[in-house]
A and B are shown apart, each in its own frame.
Chain A
Amino acid sequence: MSQHTPALAIETAGLVKTFGETRAVDGVDLAVPAGTVYGVLGPNGAGKTTTVKMLATLLRPDGGEAHVFGHDVVREADEVRGRVSLTGQYASVDEDLTGTENLVLLGRLLGHSKQAARRRSEQLLEAFGLSEAAAKQVKHYSGGMRRRIDIAASILNTPDLLFLDEPTTGLDPRSRNQVWDIVRAVVAQGTTVLLTTQYLDEADQLASRIAVIDHGKVIAEGTKGELKASVGAGSVHLRLRDPGQRPDAERVLRATLDADVQLEPDPVALTARLSSATGDSAAEEASRALAELARTGITVDNFSLGQPSLDEVFLALTGHDTGQDSGQDLGRDSKDEVAA
């Protein structure tokens, strides 16, 4: 199998999809190397799902070309379908059926005998920690279980290319980590993964290359390092004990970090956006700032080191924000939470 696999799992040129007046996908060029995780990052409505649907032969492109393992997604749709698998909120499993029934059904549709489909579904449910829920209808599954069964259904036959369309949207952090572990295990076996996500840290955790999409266009593409360098090192969020000390803290941070400091709606909170210009890591910069604050006698209750959020990436790349409530962005503040 692997010797027949071309170097590129996905190659698109000027891919376009319009819905009425809207150009949902507006000339997307992608080149996804086989055997890697490729992240497609963008806010809701950026055109991520539409792109995936075209690549998975579910939607017909209105312009441009797309090849999956060298097969045209329109003219050779059947060949493409034989090699890819899809997991997304729209390509799910049957809620009325049990976990086992769903997997056996799909196993049969993929050509397995009854016994083989049953055996495979048992093994998958076991591996995904769903054995106990095997006989339960999927509508009674929790969000995390639901995502596991969705992914299990996608790897009944090990696909050469797996589309994961926002696999962790709406999951709690713990279930999210578990999904990430699954993705890593799948990739380790040689499957190429196209991951769409709204969360920079998810792309950061899993993907080797990332394309940022906005309004149906790829606005940035590169390795994680390249992308981050264009955005900055991240930010430090601080909570002070005394709101009266906030102006002092703001001054100290500006002086020490040469950073853009933002006052939060919460009167004790403030955020400093770190620049990568100094060459120091975000952690080094943050500890320098904390030391300086302590010396000035400002009491810090709590601080966290945040990755640049998707909002910040967008701001840096496009000059406008994602137009979304930043409270939705789980990527922010999820890491390195430290009580001072």
Chain B
Amino acid sequence: MSTATTSEAKELAPVSAESLAELLVTGERPPRPSALSASLTFGWRAMLKIKHVPEQLFDVTAFPIMMVLMYTYLFGGALAGSPKEYIQFLLPGILVMSVVMITMYTGVSVNTDIEKGVFDRFRSLPIWRPSTMVGYLLGDAVRYTLASAVMLTVGIILGYRPDGGVVGVVTGIALLVVFSFAFSWIWTMFGLLLRTEKSVMGVSMMVIFPLTFLSNVFVDPKTMPGWLQAFVNNSPITHLSSAVRELMAGDWPADEIAWSLGWAGVLMLVFGPITMRLYNRK
């Protein structure tokens, strides 16, 4: 590092005081950007980061593929007679599970930015306060869509046939992405609250594993003991995966869609303000 620094420093072109002075004088101050424009700009930043560090797409490509393959062949024979039959039931559920799991990386990226030092720069700007957070989530929405597309492709190769056609599939994914956007506010909160990346990961796992596994993603809850059914049947993940499953099967499960969107609204109304409070207090 130090050798590179010295040699580069020597080659570094001098600062031009005149052109600098000119810039400072002519610098007009444009009106502040709108909330939407600031949020989209932060979303653009998330896209740039994907461009520069494409490895970060590993969790939305390789991980979901692994999930589909693993659970289809692990449980397929036992639960539904064959993997091919099981995937009809499993794919929408595993899609929900994987994408909801991927949301936890939001907390990690918030936390990393705080440590790297770019965060306070954003906080010192005269912009709509939540736009930084919304920007992360917009970028993540793109990742969720990508993960969904990848899993759907693998599912179709393995024999999944959605009766809902393109409309059903697209509506299902849209519902999933909207829910995940709202759900991610939990992670922005933890990203701001916890001090290290590792602790963010740790806490995320504690929340996400029970929440996604204790649902109707893998099996029908009717086989579970009563107390567990009570939890599973009321879990937002169960509502969401039922909604996505039925949408993709060509039905219109109004109740389950309403439940999913309702949960999304509640999550955002609770964790959005907590996140912003922490953001302002940091």
Residue contact B37 to A185, C-beta cutoff 8 Å: no
* Cβ of A172 to closest chain B Cβ, rounded Å: 6
Stretch of A18-26, A105-113, A330-338 on the interface side: A105-113
Whether A108 pairs with B41 at a CB distance below 8 angstroms is: yes
Q: In angstroms, how far is the closest chain B Cβ from the Cβ of A83?
A: 9
Binds B, one of A186-194, A207-215, A227-235, A236-244: A186-194
How far is A93 from B16 in the complex, measured between Cα atoms in Å?
22
A185 to B23, CA, bound (A): 11
Interface readout for B33-54 with A: 1 if CB under 8 Å, 0 if not? 1000110011011001100110
Chain A: minimal CB distance from B115 (Å): 10
Are A142 and B121 in contact, CB atoms less than 8 angstroms apart?
A: no
Task: Give the contacting residue for A81; candidates B17, B23, B24, B126; CB below 8 A.
Answer: B126
- Docked CA distance A337–B217 (Å): 75
How far, in Å, is A87 (CB) from chain B's closest CB? 9
A124 at the interface (CB under 8 A from B): yes
B118: interface (CB < 8 Å)? yes
> Cβ of B223: which chain A residues have Cβ within 8 Å of it?
none
Cα of A124 to Cα of B21 in the assembled complex, Å: 11
Chain B 1-34, CB-CB to A under 8 Å as 1, else 0, gives 0001110111011111101110111010111110
Chain B nearest CB, measured from A301 CB (Å): 27
Taking a contact as CB atoms under 8 Å apart, the answer to whether B116 and A95 are in contact is yes
B233 CB, min distance to chain A CBs, angstroms: 43
- Chain B's closest residue to A56 (CB) is B124
A91 close to B121 (CB less than 8 A): yes
A92 near B116 with CB under 8 A, answer yes
A84-99 CB mask vs B (1 if < 8 Å, else 0) is 1110111111111110
- The answer to whether the Cβ of B120 comes within 8 Å of any Cβ in the partner chain is yes
Interface range, B side: 35 or more
Which residues of B lie under 8 Å from residue A96 when comparing CB positions? 48-49, 52-53
Contacts A60-B281, A157-B27; is A90 near B9 (CB within 8 Å)? no
**Min CB distance, A31 to chain B, in Å?**
22
Contact of A181 among B17, B45, B122 (CB under 8 A): B17
The answer to the question of B117 belonging to the interface, with a C-beta cut-off of 8 Å to chain A, is yes
The answer to whether A78 has its CB under 8 Å from any CB of chain B is yes
B interface footprint on A152-183 (CB within 8 Å = 1, 0 otherwise): 01011110000000000000101100100110
Q: How far is the CA of A181 from the CA of B17 in the complex (A)?
A: 8
Among B10, B20, B282, find the residue whose CB has the most chain A CB atoms closer than 10 A.
B20
Partner of B8, one of A86, A105, A120, A145: A145
- A338, B281: Cα distance in complex, Å: 52
Complex Cα distance A123/B28, Å?
14
What size tier do the contact residues of chain A reach? Answer: 35 or more
Whether, in the assembled complex, A45 has its beta carbon less than 8 Å from a beta carbon of chain B, the answer is no
Chain B nearest CB: distance from A332 CB in Å? 21
Total A-B pairs, Cβ < 8 A: 163
**B130 nearest CB across to chain A (Å):** 13
A94 touches B124 (CB 8 A): no
Complex interface: chain B residues within 8 A of A106 (CB): 121, 125
Q: How far is the CA of A116 from the CA of B19 in the complex (A)?
A: 17
Interface of B is mostly: helix
Whether A248 sits at the interface, judged by CB under 8 Å, is no
Instruction: Give the docked Cα–Cα distance between A94 and B49 (Å).
Output: 9
**Interfacial chain B residues near A155, Cβ < 8 Å:** 23-24, 27
Q: Is A63 an interface residue (CB 8 A)?
A: no
Q: Is B149 an interface residue (CB 8 A)?
A: no
Asked whether A129 is an interface residue with its Cβ less than 8 Å from the other chain, the reply is yes
Contact B12 A142 (CB under 8 A): yes
Using CB atoms, name the residue of chain A closest to B9. Answer: A144
On whether the beta carbons of B12 and A82 are closer than 8 Å, the reply is no
Q: Are A175 and B9 in contact (CB under 8 A)?
A: yes
Instruction: Identify the closest chain A residue to B49 (Cβ).
Output: A96
Please report which residues of chain B, range 237-253, place their CB below 8 angstroms from some CB of chain A when the two chains form the complex.
Answer: none
CB closest chain-B residue, reference A112: B30
Is A132 on the interface with B (CB-CB < 8 A)? yes
Whether the pair A143, B32 counts as a contact (CB closer than 8 A) is no
Chain A residues whose CB sits within 8 angstroms of the CB of B281 once the complex forms: 60
- Contact check, B45 vs A58: say whether CB atoms are below 8 A apart: no
Selected from B9, B15, B21, the residue in CB contact (under 8 A) with A142 is B9
Flag if A185 contacts B21 (CB, 8 Å): yes
Taking the complex as formed, is A148 at the interface, i.e. its CB lies under 8 A from any CB of chain B? Answer: yes
Contact A126 B19 (CB under 8 A): yes
A62 to chain B, nearest CB (A): 12
Residues of chain A lying within 8 A (CB to CB) of residue B45 = 94, 97, 105
Q: Is B123 an interface residue (CB 8 A)?
A: yes
> Can you list 30 residue pairs at the A/B interface with Cβ under 8 Å?
A58-B282, A81-B124, A81-B125, A82-B126, A84-B124, A86-B124, A88-B120, A89-B117, A91-B121, A91-B124, A92-B116, A92-B118, A94-B45, A95-B116, A97-B52, A105-B44, A108-B41, A111-B30, A113-B30, A129-B13, A130-B13, A137-B52, A142-B8, A142-B12, A144-B9, A145-B9, A158-B24, A172-B6, A181-B17, A189-B21
Assuming A155-B24, A185-B15, what are 5 further A-B pairs, CB within 8 angstroms?
A82-B32, A110-B125, A113-B30, A144-B9, A144-B12
A-to-B contact residues, CB < 8 Å: 53, 56-58, 60, 78, 81-82, 84-86, 88-98, 101, 105-106, 108-113, 116, 120, 123-124, 126-132, 137, 141-145, 148, 153, 155-158, 172, 174-175, 178, 181-182, 184-186, 188-189, 191
The 6 lowest CB-CB distance pairs between A and B, nearest first, are A129-B13, A158-B27, A111-B30, A142-B8, A189-B24, A81-B126
Residues in chain B within 8 A of chain A (CB atoms): 4-6, 8-10, 12-17, 19-21, 23-25, 27, 29-33, 37-38, 41-42, 44-45, 48-49, 52-53, 113, 116-127, 281-282
